[in-house]
Structure 1
Amino acid sequence: MSDAIVAYFEALERLKKRGAKINNDTVAIEAGNKKGSIKRSRPVFEELIKAIDEAAAEQVAKRAQPEAKLVQLRDEKKTLRQLLDESIEREINLIDEIYTLKAQLAAYTAGKIVALPGGKDSSRQ
């Protein structure tokens, strides 16, 4: 391998480590050459271009992972929101039932206090 090709591969590795965008032009510039110096039509660059394409594909895959995580978190948020709304609805229904039962109890007793037989007061007689 020529020294120029080795310099391109070293530039590719530096770009990978940095997480910079990887394509033929960025590798060429990182290697200290002009943009467009890596041409697909030249057989010398065949292996280099293959390595650049693989590195670029890996970058795209890594960028897609956070998007999938974001979709998952949005779905989880939607599910949790639905569960929260359902629990609030249950609590409101229970509060309404308690209010109704208190009103019924007040209507039954209507201020009357009735002593039950066998209670604490029956032993005092």
Structure 2
Amino acid sequence: MYIDIMLDMTSSRTLARLAAVALLAAAGIAQASPAQAAPAVDVTCESLGHYAVLCERTITGGTAPFKTRWYYNGAYFASQDDKAFTSWGCSTTSGNQYKAVVVDALGASATDTSGAACRSGNP
């Protein structure tokens, strides 16, 4: 019985040592996760005809959730907040600029602007 107890103790010590070595080895080769990239936003707009434009914003990088603010010719439109797609009236007599400002959960921001020709007829 004494021999069995000694074997059990030796096996337990060996397993504990192996576990410690494995843990230390894993800690040495495990890489820290890279810092999350700042968000980027791409705004694309196209004329729908009939004095209307459809815009889409695409977000890459960053940390969700995201907040989006839309601007038309420099004026902020709260009614369009947080929309991925939005449609706008447009003018055929002046330039039309559509801007999205995106802010991620960590406060990092990105901005993109798109212009689209406005058409009065069918697309």
Taking structure 2 as the reference length, the TM-score comes to 0.32
Higher relative contact order (CA closer than 8 Å, sequence separation 6+): 2
Q: Output the TM-score relative to the length of structure 1.
A: 0.31
Structure having the larger proportion of residues in strand: 2
Q: Which has the higher helix share?
A: 1
